[in-house]
């Protein structure tokens, strides 16, 4: 019936189909909803076909009138109108329940849409689902969802990464062409890497946090996960922009990150479009702990970048190791306060028959929050306590400034930084998790970026082997403040020269 809709298409391809009338927005939405209905991955937390179709009809009306008055758009940019998008369940939505993958918000209906959700809807995108994640975005494997873990479509035994694991899994499995994510310590880049996708976290303040359920306010940023750098560029352009409802939002004009993305760098030739680009490799990112297969895949990608004209040089981020303890003080501190509002008084889970106020608080929260969330609330409460504040929180803020200074110093010698996203490929869902530190240590390459508020992305560069299955590997590109365009251009040219981003998982467990 809708055979004309291609599997695993990127947004750009689907936009062409809509533009030339191969299929309509409602048809594309129906098709996507059918896929989402039987995902076999536990990536989906909520759908509302009626609301989705309503949005699709509106988008189609826009498309029809726009098509009538337009002779094709110049450049590579494309209209998002009529294209499906699914949101991480951290963004509040009016027509879908929003749970943050927590029992404490089971069935919660927000009276408003997050700014990012609203912006994408204004761009004509059709919301098709809310996606699984780690509870309140706390986790690196999507195993901390109150609604069960999400499977990696490349290997169902593996985690999809986290915390935006549902987003990455859904896109990798071809259930949706793109999804939103949030990144507090790597939560967009790491699942994108582990699912073989492209994902970007912009500079802190680019995307509004209004309507994004806060984990750690000074670190949280929204961004897209999609198949290609171009798709990410178009999505990110629509998601960002100053929002007066978020005081930490940057007062910048909207930027088109897709504009000129295919052009070579200034002074570079078409054959070597990245000519003159200085890429720094932090030596601390290639030290002990990095698995050989990840190392090999990164090396191969760097060789490709060199062929495209880039110069590789070593830089140093000496405080890389300290970013883990600093992050795991600051993020839980903010989280312990941000999550105080979930008290059973006004909305969300409330314990039955409370004896008194204290009982209401204690049991509502004890019943509503999962282990990892409780752990971080306890850590955060501890580090802010009288007598410990200076030793932990203040010290962590000092380290945070030093980490940012390390990046500034490195960018004096290079235009962008490249390295691994995670030390290994995705681990097994049922890997023993007796020691939470192990999961925390896996964030070593991503945390510093959030502490410094920098833009960074993940680009697929190969696979590792886990038995018979392949598990994807991502390369991280980190830019100076506001240099998203340079990151995306670099990724675009790498993708133009390679095909890692076009690989699709084997059909096992995927409903055809």
Residues annotated as part of the active site = 88, 163, 187
Number of residues that bind another protein (CB under 8 A): 43
Give the integer Cα–Cα distance in Å for 88 and 98.
Answer: 9
The answer to the question of residue 86 lying near another protein (CB under 8 A) is: no
132-167 per-residue burial string, b: 16 or more CB within 10 A, e: under 16: bbbbbbbbbbbbbbbbebbbbbbbbbbbbbbbbbbb
Give the integer Cα–Cα distance in Å for 122 and 128.
Answer: 15
Shortest Cβ distance from residue 353 to another protein (Å)? 12
The answer to the question of residue 389 lying near another protein (CB under 8 A) is: yes
The answer to the question of residue 176 lying near another protein (CB under 8 A) is: no
Give the integer Cα–Cα distance in Å for 498 and 79.
Answer: 25
The answer to the question of residue 347 lying near another protein (CB under 8 A) is: yes
Report whether 152 contacts 80 (CB < 8 A): no
Total residues found in the chain within this entry: 512
- How remote is the C-alpha of 292 from its chain's centroid? 25
Report whether 459 contacts 226 (CB < 8 A): no
The answer to the question of residue 252 lying near another protein (CB under 8 A) is: no
The answer to the question of residue 248 lying near another protein (CB under 8 A) is: yes
Taking contact as CB under 8 A, which single stretch among the options 102-110, 145-153, 254-262, 306-314 is the one that binds another protein? Answer: 102-110
**Residues numbered 7-66 forming contacts with another protein, rule: CB under 8 A:** none
Among candidates 297, 326, 484, 486, which has minimal Cα distance to 406? 326
**Which of 105, 192, 298, 451 is in the footprint of another protein by CB under 8 A?**
105
**Nearer to another protein among residue 340 and residue 438 (C-beta):** 340
**Nearer to another protein among residue 251 and residue 499 (C-beta):** 251
Q: Which two tokens mark 350? A: 């409330």
**Which of 211, 282, 370, 462 is in the footprint of another protein by CB under 8 A?**
211
The answer to the question of residue 212 lying near another protein (CB under 8 A) is: yes
Q: Which two tokens mark 404? A: 């940012």
The answer to the question of residue 87 lying near another protein (CB under 8 A) is: no
Give the integer Cα–Cα distance in Å for 509 and 147.
Answer: 19
**Which of 64, 385, 405, 438 is in the footprint of another protein by CB under 8 A?**
385
Shortest Cβ distance from residue 85 to another protein (Å)? 18
- How remote is the C-alpha of 250 from its chain's centroid? 20
What CA dihedral angle connects 278, 290, 443 and 401, to 10 degrees?
-50
The answer to the question of residue 286 lying near another protein (CB under 8 A) is: no
The answer to the question of residue 183 lying near another protein (CB under 8 A) is: no
Give the integer Cα–Cα distance in Å for 53 and 61.
Answer: 12
For residue 158, what is the DSSP state? B
The answer to the question of residue 395 lying near another protein (CB under 8 A) is: no
Give the integer Cα–Cα distance in Å for 442 and 163.
Answer: 13
Binding track over 352-371 against another protein, x by CB under 8 A: -----x---x----------
Taking contact as CB under 8 A, which single stretch among the options 215-223, 277-285, 404-412, 432-440 is the one that binds another protein? Answer: 215-223
**Nearer to another protein among residue 122 and residue 389 (C-beta):** 389
The answer to the question of residue 107 lying near another protein (CB under 8 A) is: no
Give the integer Cα–Cα distance in Å for 476 and 448.
Answer: 12
Q: Which residues bind another protein (CB under 8 A)?
A: 91-92, 98, 100, 105, 108, 110-112, 114, 209-214, 216-218, 244-248, 333-334, 336-337, 339-341, 343, 345-347, 357, 361, 381, 384-386, 389, 393
């Amino acid at each position: 019936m809708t055979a004309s809709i291609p599997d695993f298409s990127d947004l750009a391809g689907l936009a062409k189909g809509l533009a030339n009338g191969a299929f309509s927005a409602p048809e594309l939405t129906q098709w996507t909803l059918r896929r989402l209905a039987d995902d076999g991955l536990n990536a989906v937390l909520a759908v509302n076909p009626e609301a989705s179709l309503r949005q699709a009809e509106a988008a189609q009306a826009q498309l029809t009138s726009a098509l009538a008055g337009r002779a094709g758009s110049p450049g590579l940019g494309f209209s998002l109108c009529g294209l499906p998008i699914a949101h991480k369940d951290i963004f509040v939505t009016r027509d879908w329940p929003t749970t943050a993958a927590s029992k404490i918000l089971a069935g919660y209906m927000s009276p408003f849409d997050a700014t990012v959700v609203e912006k994408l809807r204004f761009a004509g995108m059709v919301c098709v689902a809310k996606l699984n994640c780690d509870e309140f975005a706390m986790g690196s494997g999507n195993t901390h969802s109150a609604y069960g873990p999400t499977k990696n479509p490349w290997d169902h035994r593996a985690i999809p990464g986290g915390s935006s694991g549902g987003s990455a899994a859904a896109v990798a499995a071809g259930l949706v062409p793109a999804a939103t994510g949030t990144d507090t310590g790597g939560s967009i880049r790491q699942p994108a890497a582990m699912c073989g996708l492209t994902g970007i976290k912009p500079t802190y303040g680019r995307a509004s946090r209004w309507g994004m359920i806060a984990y750690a306010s000074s670190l949280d940023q929204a961004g897209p996960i999609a198949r290609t750098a171009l798709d990410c560029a178009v999505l990110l352009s629509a998601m960002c922009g100053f929002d007066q409802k978020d005081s930490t939002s940057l007062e910048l004009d909207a930027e088109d990150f897709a504009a000129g993305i295919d052009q070579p760098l200034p002074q570079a030739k078409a054959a070597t479009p990245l000519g003159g680009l200085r890429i720094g490799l932090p030596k601390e990112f290639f030290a002990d702990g990095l698995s050989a297969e990840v190392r090999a895949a990164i090396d191969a990608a760097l060789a490709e970048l060199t062929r495209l004209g880039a110069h590789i040089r070593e830089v140093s981020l000496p405080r890389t190791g300290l970013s883990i303890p600093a992050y795991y003080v600051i993020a839980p501190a903010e989280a312990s306060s941000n999550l105080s509002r979930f008290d059973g008084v006004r909305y969300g889970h409330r314990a039955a028959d409370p004896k008194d106020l204290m009982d209401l608080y204690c049991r509502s929260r004890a019943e509503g929050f999962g282990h990892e969330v409780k752990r971080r609330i306890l850590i955060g409460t501890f580090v802010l306590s009288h007598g410990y504040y200076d030793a932990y929180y203040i010290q962590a803020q000092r380290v945070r400034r030093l980490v940012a200074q390390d990046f500034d110093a490195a960018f004096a010698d290079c235009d962008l930084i490249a390295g691994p996203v995670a030390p290994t490929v995705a681990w097994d869902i049922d890997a023993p998790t007796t020691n939470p530190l192990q999961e925390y240590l896996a964030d070593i390459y991503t945390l510093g970026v959030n502490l410094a508020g920098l833009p960074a992305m993940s680009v697929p560069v190969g696979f590792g082997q886990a038995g018979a299955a392949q598990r994807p590997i991502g390369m991280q590109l980190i830019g100076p403040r506001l240099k998203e365009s340079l990151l995306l251009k670099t990724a675009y040219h790498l993708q133009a020269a390679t095909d890692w981003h076009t690989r699709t998982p084997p059909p096992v467990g995927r409903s055809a």
